[in-house]
């Protein structure tokens, strides 16, 4: 096992129709409104942007994203990542529940740290990094569910709500 290689896979079941879930996930600039760990999104080009994230551990990551695939018919959103993390991330949204009224979101990620400190700490802290990611994903699912329901989005650890960083359009949108 290479401690500097991470593969993540998770399922979110959401009580909202696939088009609504897909639209929320496609709007990367809106993530800070509902995903507490996504602190800022900056558009850098028509299909690119930088995302600043910080979860439980006391470090922040700046990840550059480039849209690779946007397929609403298949429910697939995929980006290439570079910067503090390198690799790719994909969301696949499909109908779920009676009559397809809900959504099943498959999250997949293949990543390697680009940040030197994270590479050096990979062996002793690999399980901690994985747990940090799990918390971030759990809060992301919870925040997206609240956002789609029109409810209150959970606050960040400091009690604030993140702003959208001025990004009005999605990366690749």
Token output for 113: 């740290």
The C-alpha R_g of the chain, in whole angstroms, comes to 16
Q: Which residue has the higher pLDDT, 90 or 167?
A: 90
Across the chain, what does the average pLDDT equal?
A: 87
For 114-154, write each residue's pLDDT tens digit.
988 888 888 888 899 899 999 999 999 999 999 999 966 65
Q: pLDDT tens-digit profile of 23-48? A: 999 999 999 999 999 999 999 999 99
> Number of structural domains, the chain?
1
pLDDT in tens, 87-125: 999 999 999 988 878 999 999 999 999 988 888 888 888
Q: Residue 156 domain-assigned? A: no
- Report yes or no on 160 lying in a domain: no
Q: Is residue 92 part of a domain?
A: yes
- The answer to the question of residue 72 being in a domain is yes
Q: Do 8 and 107 contact (CB within 8 A), yes or no?
A: yes
Task: Indicate the SS3 state at residue 173.
Answer: coil
Read off the CATH number of the domain in which 16 is found. Answer: 3.30.530.20
Identify whether 169 is part of a domain. Answer: no
Determine the structural domain holding residue 13 and report its residue range: 6-148
With CA atoms as reference, report the closest residue to 77 among 40, 35, 24, 130: 24
CA dihedral 118, 109, 39, 150 (to 10 degrees): -150
């Amino acid at each position: 096992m290479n401690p500097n290689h991470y593969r993540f896979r998770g399922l979110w079941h959401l009580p909202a129709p696939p088009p609504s879930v897909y639209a929320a996930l496609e709007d990367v600039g809106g993530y800070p409104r509902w995903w507490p760990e996504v602190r800022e999104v900056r558009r850098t080009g028509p299909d690119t942007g930088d995302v600043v994230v910080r979860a439980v551990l006391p470090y922040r990551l700046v990840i550059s994203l480039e849209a690779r695939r946007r397929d609403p018919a298949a429910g697939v959103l995929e980006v290439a990542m570079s910067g503090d993390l390198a690799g790719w991330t994909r969301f696949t949204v499909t109908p779920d529940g009676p009559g397809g009224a809900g959504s099943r979101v498959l999250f997949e990620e293949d990543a390697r740290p680009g940040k030197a400190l994270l590479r050096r700490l990979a062996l002793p802290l690999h399980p901690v990094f994985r747990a940090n990611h799990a918390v971030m994903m759990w809060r992301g699912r919870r925040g997206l569910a609240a956002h789609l329901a029109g409810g209150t989005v959970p606050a960040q650890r400091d009690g604030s709500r993140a702003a959208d960083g001025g990004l009005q359009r999605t990366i690749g949108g």
